[in-house]
Structure 1
Amino acid sequence: MAGVSAPVEVSAREAEVLQLIGRHLSNAEIGAQLFISVRTVESHVSSLLRKLGAPDRRALARRAAEPARPALPAPATSFVGRVTERAELAAALATHRQVTALGAGGVGKTRLALAVAADVAGSYRDGVWFVDLAPTGDPRMVAAAVAGALGLGEQPGRGMAESVSAALADRQALLILDNCEQVRDGVADLADRLLAACPQVTVLATSRARLLVPFEHTYPVPPLSLSGDGTSEAVALFVDRAAAGGARPEPAVRDAVAAICRRLDGMALAIELAAARWPALGPDGLTAALADPLRTLAGGSRAHDRHRSVRAALDWSHDLLDPDAQALLRRISVFAAPFTVAAAAEVAGVEAGTAADGLARLAEQSLLVVSPAPAGTRYRALESIRQYGAERLAVAGEEADTRARQLCWCLAAAAELAAGGDDWRARFDAVADDLRAALGWAADRCAPPPNTARPGTPGDAAPAGPHPGGDRAALRADAYLLASRLAELAFTRNLTGESQQRYEQAAGLAAEPARAAPMLRRAAAVAGCRTRGDDAYRLHRAAAGAARLAGDVAGAASDLATAATCAYRFSTKFERLPAPAEVLALLTEARQLAGTDPAACAAVALAEAAVLADAFGAAQGPPDNAVPDTMAAAERAVTLARRTGDPIAESAALDALTGAQSWAGDTFGTAATARRRITLLRSLPETPASAHELVDALGMAVETSLGVGDLPGAYRWGRQLADHPLLAEVGHRATAWLLVADALAGNVAEIGTRGDRFREGWRRAGSPATAVFTPAATGVATIHALRGDEAARREWAEIRDRLGTPPEHTYGYGAVFDALRLLHEGDPAAAVDRTAPQPDEVWKWVTWIWLHWYVALRAEAAVLAGDPAARDRVTAARAVVAGNPVATALVDRAAALLDRDRDRLLGALPAFEAAGCHYQAARTLVLAGGEHAERGSRLLADLGLVPMARPAV
């Protein structure tokens, strides 16, 4: 028997002979029982007399009644980790006489017990005995197994339990009873007897279920620790075992090892078996193989067959269950996330009381992890156990019915979540994986046969099998409903990528085109929220196709026109813009289909305004009739959209109007129109379409506020944009414009913190080469240049170059920020050269945000450089910037410098201070000279900037 302990001088065969002598058998009887000759028995008896120093056979019989010298099994491999568990279990043994180490099969109970036994052996005068009960299938034989491990023979007139109690009565010892779960009734009886008869004996049991004896103290053995940095106990065990196989994982792949260990839930047996496959499979192969862990995690040289594979360990636990518990185990395997008793009852098709009792029994067998909480107790099966149950479910032929019940439960859960509530996000997170799993099963059952459905349109369903709510059409309807609800919930939870996917999935599940079209439109709106212009364009076109199939000609016209608008309005969000001819063909078709439908006509008018604006924007300069035509088209789009009563459509049309107003030179009208959009959208329920429009409107409000010198307004809108839940995962989109405001205002401290946030978010998003962020990178690089931090300036210049440097960088914001830097460095002549083009020569690049900043700095550069055209530039700039407090103060300061009027120069200071433009306030003082210059220099130093070079005027 494995685990039997005997004196080291006595061989295993001699120990067996000694036990039989203790039972007072003759040599002939011993030979017959052991299948050896009488002569061989005599030889073993002689050896025992000599080794044990016994005078005769009667002394040997007495010796057989005494416990054998204790010795623990020697593990074949090193023990890794478990520092906390070793200390806690040792402490439990010091204060409790009956301790049960509980845990699932393969969690490492036996190894932990042996390690703790070695740690505490010195505390027990008579040592530690280890008894492996795995081979013992009959609870009535537990005492015999323990007696065998102790080297005790059967005593005349005594049962085995009495013999063990008598042998240990005066001993101070630790008795380890390993693998008790299959004979726990027998273990409970013996432990109860030993604790009463042997006051100095402590019992440590390892089991998958509690013994349920008086004074039992349970110690749950957790899986190995799973930290995310590759230094966990689970990773240490994996590395140790893989190294033993000749292939120690390098540090570079420790993250992959950590991911494998997390996938295995930190289960020691599973990790050891996986590590054994590492030399042959490596990280990629092992990760792929773990898609079927029960097949992959097999092998090894474990002492018992049940530890040779994860499947064998689970078979052992499964066979200990009664039929009802086995049925519950396989049915709850469909849960992908922790679940409640009520959920288990509904999905398993049993009463709540039956489910509660069954879950308790499974938890007692360590097949479920129990998590009590104020909101209700939840149960979870480790992944290997869940997959094992899923296999059993399929073999039992119950998968379809169980999955169908889960689908019904998920529909009810989704409906409840849609109703909201303070804690709905936590409730969504708790069931989201099950919603996804149920939808995945239903969608697979309803998948159209190959090549029978066009992308984005509904297809014929494959046979789906029985469904509690009806036939396969009912199953498909439920799958469609769950997909659409999950899409809505995911969007509200800010999981925009999943939301788009689920809306598209719902469209594919729709039984008819009329139900597919709205799903595709919502998917397109979510794609817009994600700045995926290509997807939005594709999905609007797909929606048009579905609408046409449904006979909704006006809807198809709106979708086609909206697709055309996307190509122009959101061109910076495309990876690959469609050809102009393709877009114009969509617009032509939309005109033909629109008829007199108000929504369709409004959508067509918006597309026409977008196309006209693009044609105007492509020109070298504004033709005489281009601005009025563009303005008229935009205003017509606004009028038609307002008639529809749809605020979202009106906001989109107002966006076209902002472009026309900006090109017309109406900077303040542009800002006012941007604010009108926010007013329209503010009170709308949050949907993908309204959220997309509001985020765009907030961004436009930030930009136009910068354009009119309203820095407090730019910060106000920028913070609202940054706080919008839609940008929670891509905060760099909002942070970018706040960085531009910081750079223009000279808020150096904010540049540092916000710059780090932008860089982190941008890198987390994959470092997209999006030129819309280039102004922010350019502004940050400029501030670092003014700080004298060349390394930081170079880093941000590299980011700027990776984002892209369009013509706007050369003639618009690039010129503005370069002029700011050159003027600070005392090189106004270079600033004059950098702003040499007349505004009407570079109108396309300065008209949006940068015009007022460009002409004001251009005028100051000319004055400081002594340019003969300085006064003309100041006069022209004053007319352009009238109404802009910051730009007007810059121009007033330039005029005062030109006229050498210090009082007027200082008169610009309050405007800068009111706008929060700290840099320009300090610069004004330096330019004023004298004691003012000293104060200005101190302010610049307080901002963290290098001293400003003051040119002679």
Structure 2
Amino acid sequence: MTAATDISPREGEVLDLVGAHLSNAEIAARLYISVRTVESHVSSLLRKLDVPDRRALAQRAATPVSDGPSRPAPVLPSLLTSFIGRATEQSELTELLKAYREVTAVGPGGVGKTRLALAVAAEATSEFSDGVWFVDLVPVTDPDMIATAVAGTLGLGEQPGRDMTESVIAALADRHALLVLDNCEQAVDGVALFVERLLATCPRVTVLATSRARLMVPFERVYQVPPLSLPTDGESDAVALFLERAAAVGSPLDAPSRDQIVAICERLDGMALAIELAAARYHTLGLDGITAALSHPLRMLTGGFRADERHRSVRAALDWSHALLDPGDRALLRRLAVFVAPFTARAAAEVAGDISAPDEIAEGLARLAEQSLLVVTATPAGTAYRALETIRQYAAEQLAEAGELHDVRSRHVRWCLAQAAELAVVGPDWRAKFDAVADDLRAALAWAAHKQQPERQPQQDQQQRSDAYKLAHNLAELTFTRNLIGESQQRYEQAASLTQDPDLVAEALRQAAAVAGCRMRGDDLYRLHHAAADAARSAGNNPGAARDLATIATTAYRFAGNFVRKLPTEETDALIAEARELAGNDPAALATVAVAEAGQALNAAVTTVEGHPGNTVADTIARAERSVELTHGGGDPLAESAALDVLTGALSWAGDTFAATATTQRRVTLLASAPVTPSATYELVEALAEAAEASLGTGDLAAARRWAGKLADHPLLAEVGHRATSWLLVADAFAGNVDEVLANSVRFLDAWRRAGSPARASLGPAVSAVAMIHGLRGDEDARREWLEALEQLGAPPEHTYGYGAVFDTMLLLHRGEVSAAVERIAPEPEQVWKWVTWIWHHWYVALRAEAAVLAGSPDAREQVAAAKTIVAGNPVAGAMVARAEALLDGDREALLATVDAFDAAGCRYQSARTRSLASD
């Protein structure tokens, strides 16, 4: 792309990544900047390029940017035509926004609610320091998808552990922003729930909604949008609108025409959409033709909801415009009503059916656009069309009245299934392609999943239900790939509800459970695997039920922190016993039960052993090794991964650091060839973290950085940078890679705060590591910020005796505070075994030996000798102990030899420290 002169290089980078459909968090991770900085750049780009929203910005990223001067504009859709009048309404609505946090502009379709809201929002931009954001809810047919639509506008993704609403609320918690929610009548109940939660927890957010019906929430302030003003003694907004729109399609009207225009506007009750439709016909019909044509439908429209004058005038204009179309164009318009997102001529031809030749569809679309019944937009993929929502709803009524609803909807579903099939192959433009059709996929599913209708034939219902199941399952897979994991779980559960085949039900529920695991929602995983077990039993598949029940128990041991309700030991024991009974002689089921039993044994060993366990877990290791053999023989890499995880825990608890590390790497290798599914993703993310931890424990910093880097780049963790970067920060801190630590710490701290600063003990090592780096740099202000974060995480024994002792001691020794270092790391390793095993043991004993030597402790030689035995095979800790021994012996040559050892291990800090010690 060619950057405009006023777009900075950093903004150009952000624009390119927006064009790749990355979220703000993903962009922040790529550029090592905070999410708030990304938001600032996006807002600036929207203003400078004068585009309406994030979707348009993504399209603009694929086209050259002109070098013209920038001009300030709010983050709102650009109006294709001028805004006429409404001075009084603008003033009134503006004042309401200043006084109330939620205002709903209410009125019938076509009265001009959206344009008025946009005008008011544009004027209010300077009042909201964190921006004005416009969310078009037209494509949203599911009340549960409101937060997803808002997140798309804001550039947010879902954070594992939170649903999309919680993720949006977390992002806006401290923001001073105006959120414009347009066309809320599409899913008014969902909007009401979302807005209530949003305003209750985001005290500086204001919401301006437009809707045909009020939200019915207690804090709502309703503003009734009136029609455009009609002629009295002064000016008329309605007449001004007609004159402006008519001039756009022909010659300006003469002054003598004013009386006829007034009569037309009065006949249309000042309704903006109706006036625009009438003005669009001026060039072909003239004022006399418009007047004559409008007379008939107005007399005919009576009764029902059409008795409302405003509804009558809009419907009159629509009926009139519709009647002027030839039969083919009328059929095309009504059949296009099934599209909720912009569509191409090719898509229109496939869904509209045999009303004309495919090459003639484009001509019909052009004629509809000429009559203001369709809006035309240019996209990188070609010309796209869409109908304004009022027109689309009118066309949908015509579709039903023509008796074509089921056939056209069915074709739309089949078109969506074909789009989903194409999206199954992930390519470079995959995100953009998915985003372009996602709303139609959801709308088609909403119709196909609707309850059966008595007027349809049984075979039609059966086909519709089958299509609904396929579409739900496809959408579940696609949304998981798009990292919309909350929706993915919902769609898998929906798929399970749309089939009567118990085997398909069980499989869909298992996938939903795996997605719940990726979301760190253990209680959902428990519920879904239980439901899957019930479905499997109803199908006569007892081994399948056994695997589900055993998986619950294993997960409860492996990921206890993901459960709100902690499963008591008695419950997991009962699950394993039932699974064992159901497994029978099925090898796969027996293997899964064996993994659960190994986890059961490890849990018992860990919770009962005090101090160094010695051989107390030998039986657990044997059980875990047996489960690995069984799962490997069954050819299920995911079950084998779970077994290897249990084995890793047993080996670690037994003190066999190197064997545990080898097991973690074996696990990552196993999963590398597994298909990308929710279950495999769930396993891989945890395996990468474990491999990074284990490599740190053995001093293999290159491997630790490799695994931690893969974890940091994993799409599942894009929105939770604190989890993604935690072990990369630790590895770089040990290595002394200061620049890398400083860059990734921005992402960590920003993401952690956006997530509500969760007090997760697993984040402690990273926070301690960054605090140490700032201490080594002598930046006490920065170190203090990270120590405050550490206080928020609490002080578990792992900090007191494990990672906290290691990083504190490294800093104290760096500063020459040897006595304090000796005191900080005073406990014997055997006393604090539970807290230094796995990662910290080698570092602990090496630092303890060095501190003893520098302090001149009488037992220094004994400590060095013991440490040499413990850290044998660890290149970094081994070099640290060798350095301590050289210092003890006064052997300068041996001391300098450790420089090469540290350099070879990629530990630049310890290499530099050795040179410093040698120069003292």
TM range (shorter): 0.5 to 0.7
Match in the other structure for 1:442: 448
**Matched position secondary structure for 1:259:** strand
Instruction: Give the partner amino acid of 1:814.
Output: G
Alignment of 1:207-606 (within 5 A): 230=125, 257-260=178-181, 286-287=208-209, 289=211, 298-303=225-230, 304=238, 306=268, 308-309=270-271, 312-313=274-275, 315=315, 318=318, 319-321=320-322, 322-323=324-325, 324=327, 325-349=329-353, 350-351=355-356, 352-353=358-359, 355-373=361-379, 375-387=381-393, 389-390=395-396, 393=399, 399-420=405-426, 423-443=429-449, 445-446=450-451, 463-465=452-454, 470-606=459-595
Compute the displacement of 1:335 (Å): 1.6
Compute the displacement of 1:316 (Å): 6.7
**Matched position secondary structure for 1:287:** strand
**Matched position secondary structure for 2:566:** coil
Residue deviations 1:557-595 (CA, integer Å, cap 9, x gap): 011000100011112333442222222211111111111
Paired residue for 2:884, among 870, 873, 894? 894
Residue deviations 1:307-355 (CA, integer Å, cap 9, x gap): 7445645547523243544553343233221112232233334333453
Q: Retained in 1: the 8 A contact 2:133–2:179?
A: no
Q: Retained in 1: the 8 A contact 2:829–2:836?
A: yes
Report the CA distance shift for 1:106/1:829 in structure 2 as closer, same or farther (over 3 A).
closer
Instruction: Give the partner amino acid of 2:566.
Output: L
Q: Retained in 2: the 8 A contact 1:418–1:489?
A: yes
Instruction: Give the partner amino acid of 1:639.
Output: E
Report the CA distance shift for 1:544/1:824 in structure 2 as closer, same or farther (over 3 A).
same
Residue deviations 1:503-536 (CA, integer Å, cap 9, x gap): 1111122223211111111112222223333322
Q: Distance in 1 between matches of 2:626 and 2:862?
A: 39
Match in the other structure for 2:906: 916
Report the CA distance shift for 1:911/1:106 in structure 2 as closer, same or farther (over 3 A).
closer
Match in the other structure for 1:27: none
Report the CA distance shift for 1:230/1:535 in structure 2 as closer, same or farther (over 3 A).
farther
Match in the other structure for 1:793: 783
Report the CA distance shift for 1:84/1:914 in structure 2 as closer, same or farther (over 3 A).
closer
Q: Retained in 2: the 8 A contact 1:297–1:310?
A: no
Q: Retained in 2: the 8 A contact 1:557–1:600?
A: yes
Report the CA distance shift for 1:288/1:545 in structure 2 as closer, same or farther (over 3 A).
farther
Report the CA distance shift for 1:110/1:648 in structure 2 as closer, same or farther (over 3 A).
closer
Instruction: Give the partner amino acid of 1:403.
Output: R
Compute the displacement of 1:253 (Å): 12
Q: Distance in 1 between matches of 2:408 and 2:775?
A: 66
Instruction: Give the partner amino acid of 1:896.
Output: A
Q: Distance in 1 between matches of 2:50 and 2:776?
A: 53
Percent of paired sites with the same residue:
57
Paired residue for 1:761, among 738, 751, 757? 751
**Matched position secondary structure for 1:370:** strand
Instruction: Give the partner amino acid of 1:692.
Output: Y
Report the CA distance shift for 1:471/1:262 in structure 2 as closer, same or farther (over 3 A).
closer
Instruction: Give the partner amino acid of 1:569.
Output: R
Compute the displacement of 1:427 (Å): 2.2
Q: Retained in 1: the 8 A contact 2:648–2:660?
A: yes
Q: Distance in 2 between matches of 1:307 and 1:732?
A: 57
Compute the displacement of 1:615 (Å): 1.5
User: What are the ranges of 5 or more consecutive residues in structure 2 without an aligned counterpart?
Assistant: 1-46, 52-76, 88-117, 135-171, 187-203, 216-221, 231-237, 239-265, 276-313
**Matched position secondary structure for 1:371:** strand
Alignment of 1:150-169 (within 5 A): none
Name the stretch that deviates more: 365-374 or 488-497: 365-374
Compute the displacement of 1:675 (Å): 1.2
Alignment of 1:57-76 (within 5 A): none
**Matched position secondary structure for 1:471:** helix
Report the CA distance shift for 1:412/1:326 in structure 2 as closer, same or farther (over 3 A).
same
Instruction: Give the partner amino acid of 2:549.
Output: L
Q: Retained in 2: the 8 A contact 1:467–1:475?
A: no
Match in the other structure for 2:626: 636
Report the CA distance shift for 1:227/1:476 in structure 2 as closer, same or farther (over 3 A).
farther
Match in the other structure for 2:841: 851
Instruction: Give the partner amino acid of 2:478.
Output: L
**Matched position secondary structure for 1:379:** strand
Q: Retained in 2: the 8 A contact 1:621–1:844?
A: yes
**Matched position secondary structure for 2:376:** strand
Instruction: Give the partner amino acid of 1:549.
Output: S
Q: Distance in 2 between matches of 1:660 and 1:439?
A: 47
Q: Retained in 1: the 8 A contact 2:132–2:180?
A: no
Count of aligned pairs between the two proteins: 678
Q: Distance in 2 between matches of 1:799 and 1:84?
A: 40
Paired residue for 2:669, among 679, 688, 691? 679
Q: Distance in 1 between matches of 2:715 and 2:124?
A: 29
Q: Which has the higher contact order (CA 8 A, sep 6+)?
A: 2
Q: Distance in 1 between matches of 2:783 and 2:426?
A: 47
Name the stretch that deviates more: 414-423 or 580-589: 414-423
Q: Retained in 1: the 8 A contact 2:745–2:770?
A: yes
Match in the other structure for 1:656: 646
Paired residue for 1:741, among 726, 731, 739? 731
Report the CA distance shift for 1:551/1:585 in structure 2 as closer, same or farther (over 3 A).
same
- Please identify the structure whose Cα radius of gyration is greater: 1
Q: Distance in 2 between matches of 1:493 and 1:84?
A: 28
**Matched position secondary structure for 2:459:** coil
Match in the other structure for 1:826: 816
Instruction: Give the partner amino acid of 1:665.
Output: G
Compute the displacement of 1:644 (Å): 0.3
Q: Distance in 1 between matches of 2:124 and 2:592?
A: 52
User: What are the ranges of 5 or more consecutive residues in structure 1 without an aligned counterpart?
Assistant: 1-80, 86-103, 115-222, 239-250, 266-281, 447-462, 931-953
Instruction: Give the partner amino acid of 1:407.
Output: V
Compute the displacement of 1:423 (Å): 3.7
Instruction: Give the partner amino acid of 1:485.
Output: N
Q: Distance in 1 between matches of 2:331 and 2:229?
A: 30
Report the CA distance shift for 1:890/1:387 in structure 2 as closer, same or farther (over 3 A).
farther
Report the CA distance shift for 1:580/1:426 in structure 2 as closer, same or farther (over 3 A).
same
Q: Retained in 1: the 8 A contact 2:702–2:906?
A: yes
Match in the other structure for 1:88: none
**Matched position secondary structure for 1:840:** coil
Instruction: Give the partner amino acid of 2:346.
Output: A
Q: Distance in 1 between matches of 2:443 and 2:737?
A: 49
Q: Distance in 1 between matches of 2:727 and 2:272?
A: 55
Alignment of 1:871-882 (within 5 A): 871-882=861-872
Alignment of 1:768-783 (within 5 A): 768-783=758-773
Instruction: Give the partner amino acid of 1:572.
Output: G
Residue deviations 1:788-810 (CA, integer Å, cap 9, x gap): 32332222223333344432112
Report the CA distance shift for 1:225/1:383 in structure 2 as closer, same or farther (over 3 A).
farther
Report the CA distance shift for 1:496/1:835 in structure 2 as closer, same or farther (over 3 A).
same
Superposition TM-score, scaled by structure 2 size: 0.68
Q: Retained in 2: the 8 A contact 1:400–1:465?
A: no
Report the CA distance shift for 1:437/1:300 in structure 2 as closer, same or farther (over 3 A).
same
Instruction: Give the partner amino acid of 2:364.
Output: G
**Matched position secondary structure for 1:618:** helix
Compute the displacement of 1:658 (Å): 1.1
Report the CA distance shift for 1:929/1:471 in structure 2 as closer, same or farther (over 3 A).
same
Report the CA distance shift for 1:923/1:308 in structure 2 as closer, same or farther (over 3 A).
farther
